[in-house]
Amino acid sequence: MLEWLLIFILLFIILILSLKYSKLKGEIEQRAREIFERWRNEELNVLKDEYEKRVDILRKEYESKAEEKAKILFQQWKENEERRIRKDAIKRSTSTILGRVGEHLTPLIIFLNYGIKPKDFRFLGTPVDFIAFKGLSDGKPEEIIFIEVKSGSSTTLSNNERKIKKLIEAGKVKWMLIHLPKELEKLSK
């Protein structure tokens, strides 16, 4: 019976030790999980900090490169735009000068091509550039010619120039004599 009692005590001790072992095992696992979680979070934070530092460095490098490229592209655009503006200014200036010189040379060119003497020209400017009284300088007027000069690439008449051309071609031209004293007398009545 003593044997049974010893066996029973031994079994009881084994049971208590098993329970303590299970309890300690659970606590150890819990502590291990806590330690692992703490270590994992610390490592994640370290990696996150490293990652953020690298991202900042890369961002600064890319921003610097982008800024350099933007400056280069802006400088190229600026130079190209300056060249374009200069070419345009030269073109416009040339057109203006050619127009002015052309208007002065027109009587000579027309004399050479059409036989109308420069003395027969009268400059108006608008709505047409010249009126030529062909033969007037010789005392034998034979024709009145309205002349519009175009010096640019376009030969298109303006709206008013077109209207005047149609009136002349339709023969809607008059002669009017104004005697100033009579006209003033009409106004005073």
Inside any domain, residue 131: yes
Residue-number span of the structural domain to which 63 is assigned: 13-89
Residues 6 or more apart whose CB falls under 8 angstroms from that of 173 comprise 144, 167
- Whole-model pTM? 0.50
Residues 120 and 78 in one domain: no
**What is the residue whose two structure tokens read 């049974």?**
4
Phi/psi at 88 (5° precision) = -65, -40
User: Is residue 95 one of the residues assigned to a domain?
Assistant: no
* Domain identity same for 183 and 123: yes
Separation CA 96–CA 28 (nearest Å): 98
Of 135, 177, 129, the residue nearest 157 (C-alpha): 129
| Residue 4 maps to a domain | no
Pair 78, 127 in one domain: no
**Preceding omega of 107 cis (within 30 degrees of 0):** no
Torsion (CA) 132, 170, 99, 111 in degrees, nearest 10: -30
126 plus 65 within the same structural domain: no
1 domain residue, yes or no? no
Contact 129, 103 (CB under 8 A): yes
| Of the residues 22, 55, 89, the one at which a domain ends | 89
User: Cα–Cα distance between 139 and 100 in angstroms, integer?
Assistant: 30
Do 134 and 180 belong to one domain? yes
Enumerate residue ranges in the chain where pLDDT < 70: none
Q: What angle do CA 155, 160, 164 make, to 5 degrees?
A: 90
Residue 41 is predicted with a pLDDT of 92
Residue 173 lies in a domain: yes
User: Does 184 share its domain with 119?
Assistant: yes
Q: Provide the pLDDT for residue 119.
A: 92
Residue 45: the pLDDT is 92
CB atoms within 10 A of CB 71: 10
Domain assignment of residue 47, yes or no: yes
Q: Report DSSP state, residue 171.
A: T
> Which of 73, 89, 105 marks a domain boundary?
89
Query: What is the number of domains present in the chain?
Result: 2
